[in-house]
Chains A and B, each alone.
Chain A
């Protein structure tokens, strides 16, 4: 019997009288706060971190990462994981670019914007298909998501490179994408990067889906207790399946932005950001054990990681230095989160 049971009433929410540091530690804005502290600290050494150019770079780097991480969040809510997200970036980049630049295919003669639209759909369809495969394996055959997505990650990373060797002479990338497509990655609307508008739309949609829709409620229920959800009439398998599809499709969409920015479809896209994707979600406070997530948290997590990266770049740190500090920062965030859980547990 726990003490709480003896009183049979829940303890009240944290009192406003708590010391500031504890309130901060328990706040969902903690990561944002840490970002601000980091920027402030950095500004003393490299004042460039406060310039508009720097923040434009940060934004540019953050947007696609954020989109992938938001997709990842949907899978994490149901206590799954999608390691294949980065291979989807590469694979859909190659296939999508191939669809757009196809010689003599059915797309020839169509207006450019239509070709681009079909291209984007192709990117997302490739991602969604990989996600559907992951989802089918985990829900139909009860395969552990970690392993399923690990193998699909290996498979599609390999496939991306292999397909590129088949499609091109030098086997490196698929270039000469149309101007209209490149606009998605580089263009601006009302002074704002076009990709930012995409990210905002994705974020908003994701927020509504997660926090205000039936689907979202079902995701949380499954994340907390899949058996209880099933007995309460939640279509557990179908819901989980769509979580994986969303993760794949989001990665496909992010691939559109990356590819448009590079102006080529490349099979090594995103190879290094796998850990950033999961990291952004988890640092923001999304639980790896399911049932805890919020879009805003992921935004903070992605922002934090990108800002840290940029700061280190500005410092002129070597690759080794960037690795070390990034690792340290992930570790620190995880430790803070762990301590936070412990504090919460004590009430």
Chain B
């Protein structure tokens, strides 16, 4: 086997590493626990991953323009606490509408501070994280607030054999995928992420794009929050606390770059499911619960490491290719 071949194989391996990792995990957990490989359990995994996936889809838009939104967890808490407090007994559709609108508002505030006041996204959303949690804590009086029955029912209802949270997740996913792939807006998001200056010169309204992605992230955070609410029954004062970490991890695990312009929602969904698979598998094999975060973070780490190795290798390959010039 020539040098080039072995390099190609290595690259092929690195390129599909998250998938390989996933398969390895499934095999390991499957061999340790019989219950793990059942279809019901897989459905459980997806259902549990749904809210992270939804929020991470919103986060993907932000990461694509090289931004970041640390406030999604706070947004999720703030938007959902309103539904929990004031919308008991309402049709859950209204709940989603109201939460979505509040999430949008929250996102718009982020967007305003970032695009108009030119505060770096990291700091801006850090600040709104505090403010958002504060508003929610104030509204809830730092008490555990149970969600209305209709929200809880939502979590247990199935439609065409699939739980409603999965349907909501699929809906968000399809809309996001179509938007990014098949609309002018979506393609411009990628363009802005790759090079905002060039995008401005190409006549793209860069500020509008930047503004909009934070709004999208806001809406997704709120919707994801309610999906999560349908599973946890009540909003405690830690509802959504540090949710930004698994969310960003899911997107990055799925191949979305933190530097903008690269990635997509398919990968993000995969990342969210991968994380949930690990957690679920650990439960199935009765691992010490204190070990969960260790394993999950180690797996995210491996995925990012592999991604970096791959990028580095591709770069080296590119550099080696001297363009032979014939005049």
A–B contact (CB under 8 angstroms) = yes
Encode A328-347 as 1/0 by CB contact (under 8 A) with B: 10110011011101100000
Query: Given that A150-B248, A323-B137 are known contacts, is A141 also in contact with B297, CB under 8 Å in the complex?
Result: no
Shortest distance between the CB of B247 and any CB in chain A (Å): 11
Question: Are B305 and A157 in contact, CB atoms less than 8 angstroms apart?
Answer: no
Q: How far is the CB of A123 from chain B (nearest CB, A)?
A: 21
Chain A: CB-nearest residue to B139: A320
Q: Is A46 an interface residue (CB 8 A)?
A: no
Q: Is the CB of B297 within 8 A of A324?
A: no
Are B308 and A158 neighbours in the complex by a CB distance under 8 Å? no
Expressed in whole angstroms, the minimum distance between the Cβ of A293 and any Cβ of chain B is 15
Q: Which B residues lie within 8 Å of A162 (CB)?
A: 288, 290-291, 294
1/0 contact trace for A148-188 toward B, CB 8 Å?
Answer: 10111011011101100100000000000000000000000
Q: Determine if A142 and B292 form an interchain contact, defined as CB atoms under 8 angstroms apart.
A: no
Q: Mark out the residues of chain B between 103 and 120 whose CB falls within 8 Å of any chain A CB in the assembled complex.
A: 113, 117-120
Contact between chains at B293 and A157 (CB < 8 Å): yes
Chain B residues near A324 (CB-CB < 8 A): 130-131, 134-135, 138
Chain A: minimal CB distance from B316 (Å): 11
Chain B residues lying within 8 Å of A335, measured Cβ to Cβ, are: 113, 117, 119
Enumerate chain B residues within 8 angstroms of A143, measured Cβ to Cβ: 304-305, 308
B304/A148 in contact, CB under 8 A: yes
Whether B48 is near chain A, meaning CB under 8 Å from some CB there, is: no
Instruction: Give the size category of B's interface with A.
Output: 35 or more
Given A326-B130, A331-B127, check contact A338 B258 (CB 8 Å): no
Chain B binding surface SS class: helix
**Once the chains are docked, how many angstroms separate the CA of A321 from the CA of B137?**
9
B133: interface (CB < 8 Å): yes
Write out, one digit per residue, whether chain B residues 276-303 have a CB within 8 A of any chain A CB (1) or not (0). Answer: 0000000000001011111011101100
Contacts of A155 in B (CB 8 A): 293-294, 297-298, 301
- Cβ 8 A contact of A154, one of B120, B135, B138, B296: B296
Q: Does B245 contact A (CB under 8 A)?
A: yes
Distance in angstroms between the alpha carbons of A158 and B279 in the assembled complex:
14
Mark each residue of chain B from 112 to 151: 1 if its CB lies under 8 Å from any CB of chain A, else 0.
0100011110111011111111111110001000000000
With both beta carbons as reference points, the residue of chain A lying nearest to B117 in the complex is identified as A335
Q: B residues within 8 A CB of A132?
A: none
User: In the complex, which of the residues B293, B304, B309 contacts A144, with contact meaning CB atoms closer than 8 Å?
Assistant: B304
A319 adjacent to B142 (CB under 8 Å): yes
Interface size on A, residues (CB 8 A): 45
Q: A142 touching B294 by the CB < 8 A rule?
A: no
List chain B residues, Cβ under 8 A from A150.
Answer: 245, 248-249
The smallest C-beta distance from A232 to any residue of chain B, in angstroms, reads 21
In the assembly, what is the distance between CA of A242 and CA of B326, in Å?
47
Interchain CB contact under 8 A, A154 and B245? yes
Interface window among A206-214, A275-283, A295-303:
A275-283
**Within the complex, what minimum Cβ distance (angstroms) separates A218 from chain B?**
23
Of B137, B248, B259, B308, the residue contacting A141 (CB under 8 A) is B308
Residue of chain A at shortest CB distance from B132: A327
Report the separation of the CA atoms of residues A320 and B78 in the bound assembly, to the nearest whole angstrom.
12
Could you tell me the distance in whole angstroms from the C-beta of A15 to the nearest C-beta in chain B?
25
Taking a contact as CB atoms under 8 Å apart, the answer to whether B123 and A161 are in contact is no
Mark out the residues of chain A between 75 and 99 whose CB falls within 8 Å of any chain B CB in the assembled complex.
none
A288: interface (CB < 8 Å): yes
Contact A334 B120 (CB under 8 A): yes
Q: Does A204 have its Cβ within 8 Å of any Cβ on chain B?
A: no
| Given contact pairs A324-B130, A331-B113, a sample of 4 additional A-B residue pairs in the complex whose CB atoms are under 8 Å apart | A143-B305, A147-B248, A165-B288, A288-B120
Q: Which residues of A contact B (CB under 8 A)?
A: 137, 141-144, 146-148, 150-152, 154-155, 157-159, 161-162, 165, 275, 278-279, 282, 288-289, 318-328, 330-331, 334-335, 337-339, 341-342
